[in-house]
């Protein structure tokens, strides 16, 4: 597979988006939204991580096998946290 070369302009746009998202997540953390604070912070963090993984780490232009490997990491982390919390969050009702 020939190597895909991403133009510097795209990288610069991604950096600008990342900095704007950082300022946004910092700003909204001072507003009291109850439980939504954590949700908004995590949504923005995942958006930033996706930008870095897809463009800076070239996942968007990588082979499907590489993308499956990367997604597997996220999936296994999900198993780790979901199964752990399925224990801790269900201890209080006996």
Exposure pattern of 61-79 as b/e (b: 16+ CB <10 Å)?
ebeeeeeeeeeeeeeeeee
Contact 24, 44 (CB under 8 A): yes
Site string for another protein, 35-74 (x = CB under 8 A): --xx--xx-xx--xx--xx--xxx---xx-xx--xx-xxx
Q: Does 93 bind another protein (CB under 8 A)?
A: no
Site string for another protein, 2-41 (x = CB under 8 A): xx-xx-x--xx-xx--xx--x--xx--xxxxx---xx--x
Cα separations in angstroms, 42 against 12, 26, 36, 49, 84: 24, 12, 10, 10, 19
CB atoms within 10 A of CB 44: 17
Residues forming contacts to another protein in the complex (CB under 8 A) are 1-3, 5-6, 8, 11-12, 14-15, 18-19, 22, 25-26, 29-33, 37-38, 41-42, 44-45, 48-49, 52-53, 56-58, 62-63, 65-66, 69-70, 72-74, 76-77, 80-81, 84-85, 88-89
């Amino acid at each position: 597979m020939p190597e895909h070369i991403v133009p510097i302009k795209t990288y610069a746009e991604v950096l600008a988006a990342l900095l704007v998202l950082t300022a946004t997540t910092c700003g909204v953390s001072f507003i009291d939204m109850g439980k939504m604070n954590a949700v908004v912070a995590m949504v923005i963090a995942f958006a930033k991580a996706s930008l870095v993984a897809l463009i800076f780490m070239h996942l968007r232009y990588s082979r499907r096998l590489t993308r499956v490997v990367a997604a597997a990491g996220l999936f296994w982390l999900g198993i780790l946290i979901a199964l752990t919390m399925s224990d801790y969050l269900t201890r209080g009702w006996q």
